[in-house]
Amino acid sequence: MKGGTFTFNIRTQYTFLANDRTLSCILSGIAKKKINITGFLQTKIRNHFNFVRLVVGSPDAETKHDLRVARQVLTSLGVKFQEEKVIQVLRITPGVPGVINRIFGALWCKVKVKSFYIGEETRLFLNVSNIHKAIKILSQTKVVQCPKTCIRRPA
């Protein structure tokens, strides 16, 4: 899907909580089935659990098989998970300051940005409250930023 400034794919994200051992089993289980993880975000919470968001498949696409394997691995380990559609932003040039703000800065006042993380090949993943609205905003020829005033606080 091509917009004015950015190019997009719609991908499937799995969100779940797991302890370290279970997370390692999930990652190895997916790898043993020869399925790639192209997007991954892990944050330790409550000292014992990892909050995880992951996207499976190649950097360019996911298949029904990729999604089925991810579901099977999570289910076989007794992990409760949420499956959501997310936006994958393609063709981000690495080393260019301000690209992340061009995206976040255009969305934060118009849709809820639930998560925003990087994946393989400098692809960005966006979990937002309204995918269609976010794509419409980012598809404009000139991406308009949300109004803000940044005031530096004294140290």
**pLDDT tens digits along 81-107:** 999 999 999 977 777 778 889 999 999
CA-CA distance, 63 to 44, in Å (whole number)? 29
Find out whether 38 and 55 touch, Cβ atoms under 8 Å: yes
Find out whether 9 and 135 touch, Cβ atoms under 8 Å: no
Q: Where are the domains of the chain?
A: 7-138
For the stretch 98-135, pLDDT in tens is 888 999 999 999 999 999 999 999 899 999 999 999 99
pLDDT at 1 over 70: no
For the stretch 11-64, pLDDT in tens is 999 999 999 999 999 999 999 999 999 999 999 997 789 999 999 999 999 999
pLDDT at 4 over 60: no
Multiple choice CATH, 7-138, 3.40.50.720, 3.30.2130.10, 3.40.50.970, 1.20.140.10? 3.30.2130.10
* Burial annotation 47-83 (CB, 10 A radius, 16+ → b, else e): eebbebbbbbbebeebeeebbebbeebbeeeebebee
